[in-house]
Each structure stands twice: as structure tokens, then as C-alpha cells.
Structure 1
Amino acid sequence: MNSYRTIYEYGCDEFTEERSRFIGYAKPINSEEEAVEFVDEIKKKHKDATHNVWAYTVGPTMNIQRYSDDGEPQGTAGIPALEVIKKEDLRDVVVVITRYFGGIKLGAGGLVRAYTRGAKIGLEAGKIIDRIWYQEVKIKVDYNQIGRVQNEIMNLGYFVKNTIYLEDVEFIIYSKPEDTQKLTDRITDITNGTANISFGEEFYLSENNGEIILD
């Protein structure tokens, strides 16, 4: 899987609807165990709340999907929260929406809207991002080739993680695997085959609007 959508970090936001207080929480997770731990953590934090509704998806194909209405009428809370995650096409995410009842009933439609909003604001607070698969490429050249190679890398739009100045100059670059051959061919061409090109690890990096976010 070359890319997927998730959230960047823990997020929390809240709103009031007909005197009921709704608090939306969201967190990126790596396993169902982590999702359950987060749900339990919020339940413990808000053990005096009227409801702690939750939903999560786990896995690259959302193969694990769970939710709970936590005492709200069936279909008015957990499923709407899960649907927000699915509509945003998010993987490995858990949301919890805490409600403190304010004395006014919202009705089925009002509950659906409130829990949908609660899930959405929690996810937005956690910053929805793309996780993209990248290849680390190391390019080592002589000092007299720095300017030309650096300009070419920047013009082609590759991300330079680091530049190391020792006996030679080494550029550490992040490239999408499908673009790596284009990069190596171009660098080989402009250096007449003198560049020393090697490959490091492959991994996921976070992107927001096409810009890499370094953890």
C-alpha cells in the first residue's frame, strides 16, 4: 500500500448542543489493543459523563471496524462516528465522543448530527494527513558538482533530508519509489556517471497538502 489517510496526532475539541456538552477525542493508533486502551483512558477520565461513545478502524483495508453507542439509542451514536472515519477514508484511527447530558433530549436526528460533529471535530483537531511510502536515496558527489546536482534535485521537486559535507558531499533524499529511477537516471546523466548513488530504507512519511511533515 503506497499511501493511506490517517490523523497526525492526538486531537480534542468540544461544543455545546441544547445544553449538552460534547467532547470529541481522536488519536492515531497501530493496533486494536491501542484503540481499546485509548477508549478505556477516556472513559476513566470522564467516568462521570452520561455517555462515552466510540468508534475505530484498524488495518490498511479497514479490516477491523468497531463502535459502541454506550447507552444512546441504537444507531444514533457509534455508527455515525464510524461513518465519519470511513467517509474521510481514514485508517488506524480511534474516536471517542463524550457527552454530558444537559437536560434537553435531542431526538434521533439530533443525536446523529451531534455525534457526527463530535467525531469530525476530534479528527480535525488531530490533523488529517496522508501517509506516503518513500525510499531513501543517497547521492555522493565531488564538491565541484554540488551546485548542479543540488539545483537539479530541487528543480525535480525531491525532498532533501540532509546534506553531509565530508571528503565528498552526500545528499540524503526522500523519493517516492515510482520516481526513484527518474532521479537516479538524471543524476547519473548530469554527473557523467561519477555520482555514487545508494539506497536506504523504505518507510511511510506524513504529508499535509503535499508537504512532508517530519516527525
Structure 2
Amino acid sequence: MEPTTCRTLAAPVRTRTEERRSVFECWLRRVEDEAGARAVVEEARTEHWGAGHHCSAFVLGPDGATVRSNDDGEPAGSAGMPMLEVLTHAGLTDVVAVVTRWFGGTLLGTGGLARAYGGAVRAAVEEASTLTRVRVREVDVQVGHDVAGRVEHDLRARGVGIGDVRYGAGVTLRLQVPVTEAGDLPALVSELTGGRAEPLPGTGSEGWRDVADDVQGPASGG
């Protein structure tokens, strides 16, 4: 079954950690697709052109099904995979982590690198604020100008998002209701308009909506 909620970043994060004089800078960004994730890697590579490694990991899709990691020259499995494990454990999706390393003169070994790269991403995740995304059904409802403001207010108070408002002979509200509650929408619209409005036929497409900011620090993850 396709998921109806997921979590992602509310804002970009940049942190620095140090391990035996090697410095690790982590960029944590929200992205829409693989092209966006790879663009963040290239941005880090361009900004920090003198660094030795730019390792990366990303998770995409509502179900987190698309995952990639890259060790960028570090020993196989010592960087990208530990980074990816932190992201998946945190329960985040549509997110990319890039960790840039400046070598401090001391070899860390495979285990030390895994701890350092994973720790760099963990530090960024612990500072991150996240938001919840909900799969919604978009439905148009037309109401009179005289009640539009009140109806919009009442709908928002019931947790229904308003994606768009169009003015003409009447006022058309594009409602965004969680798909799990879409069956209750006609009755709710009827209640709030005194039976004078109902969802317009031919509408009902589905998409995703950012609905709530979580408290800082989502790293307790699943």
C-alpha cells in the first residue's frame, strides 16, 4: 500500500565535526529527485574544490524506496553506506547528505571512517527541523462571495488545506484534504455551507502537501 505520510527537512542544515584532525562538513538538503541530489553534490564539490572527498547519500520517494550512496574514493563501504543508514534510521526522505572531508594527516581506518562519516550526518540530523508531508486529494468547491471568508476559515480550522482561491461569479476554493479523510469531505462542506455547496464534479486529483513543522531534532527515527 502506498504511504500517505512521510517526513522530510524543513530547512537546509550545515554542520562540521572533527575526527583526529580530519574535518568533516555535512550538508543536509531537501531535494525532489536524483538530479536535484546530484546537483547538491556538485555544488559542494565546487565550493570546497580543495577537499579530498565529497561522499554522499540520498533517499527519495514517499516510501523511501530510492536510495543511493557514494564513497567518492574512500574505502568501499566506509562513507556512503554509513551516511545512508543514518538517513534511513531517522525516517527522512527526499533528502541528500553530502559530507566533505579535509584530511588531517592521520589515517582513520575503515571503521574510523564509517564512524566519522556516519557521525557527521548524525550531527546534522540532530540539528535539523523536519516537516510532515501528507498525501491529499484536491477538490474544488464553489461558494458565494458573502460566505467565502467564513467557509475558508472554518475549513482551515478543521485541518483542510486551501491550495488556491479563484474569484468569479462565485468563489472557488481548491481544498486539500488527506486522502484518508476524503470520504468525509462532502458532508463537511455541506455542514459548513448549510447545504449550499458540494465538491465540484471532475475534481479530485491527488498530490502531497507540507502540513506541519516538527520539533527540532528528528533523529530518534524508525
Equivalent residue pairs, number: 211
Aligned twin of 2:211: 207
Aligned twin of 2:101: 99
Question: CA 1:9 to 1:146, structure 2 compared with 1: closer, same or farther past 3 Å?
Answer: closer
Q: For 1:123-164, what per-residue CA distance to the aligned partner results, in whole angstroms no more than 9, with x for missing partners?
A: 566643332212233333345655864564245232345666
Aligned twin of 1:44: 46
Aligned twin of 1:193: 195
Match of 2:212, as an amino acid? N
CA distance in 2, matches of 1:63, 1:175: 25
Give the superposition deviation at 1:170.
Answer: 4.3
Match of 1:177, as an amino acid? V
Give the superposition deviation at 1:100.
Answer: 0.9
Q: For 1:158-201, what per-residue CA distance to the aligned partner results, in whole angstroms no more than 9, with x for missing partners?
A: 23456666654444432112223323213224544321532464
Please state whether the residue corresponding to 1:103 is helix, strand or coil: coil
Question: CA 1:50 to 1:197, structure 2 compared with 1: closer, same or farther past 3 Å?
Answer: same
Question: CA 1:152 to 1:49, structure 2 compared with 1: closer, same or farther past 3 Å?
Answer: closer
1:157 to 156, 159, 169: 159
Q: For 1:84-95, what aligned pairs fall within 5 Å after superposition? A: 84-95=86-97
Question: CA 1:144 to 1:73, structure 2 compared with 1: closer, same or farther past 3 Å?
Answer: closer
TM-score (norm 1): 0.75
CA distance in 2, matches of 1:70, 1:104: 19
CA distance in 2, matches of 1:41, 1:34: 11
Please state whether the residue corresponding to 1:52 is helix, strand or coil: strand
Q: Which runs of 5+ in 2 are unaligned?
A: 215-222
Match of 2:101, as an amino acid? R
Give the superposition deviation at 1:80.
Answer: 0.7
Aligned twin of 2:186: 184
Aligned twin of 2:220: none
2:68 to 61, 66, 69: 66
Give the superposition deviation at 1:84.
Answer: 0.9
Please state whether the residue corresponding to 2:199 is helix, strand or coil: strand
Dislocated runs of 4+, deviation >6 Å = none
Please state whether the residue corresponding to 2:46 is helix, strand or coil: helix
- State the identity as a percent: 30
Question: Contact 2:152–2:162 at 8 Å: present in 1 too?
Answer: no
Please state whether the residue corresponding to 1:193 is helix, strand or coil: coil
Give the superposition deviation at 1:63.
Answer: 4.2
Aligned twin of 1:25: 27
Q: Which runs of 5+ in 1 are unaligned?
A: 211-215
Q: Tell me the C-alpha RMSD between the 2 structures.
A: 3.3
Q: For 1:79-99, what per-residue CA distance to the aligned partner results, in whole angstroms no more than 9, with x for missing partners?
A: 110101211233333221111
Match of 1:50, as an amino acid? G
CA distance in 1, matches of 2:156, 2:63: 35
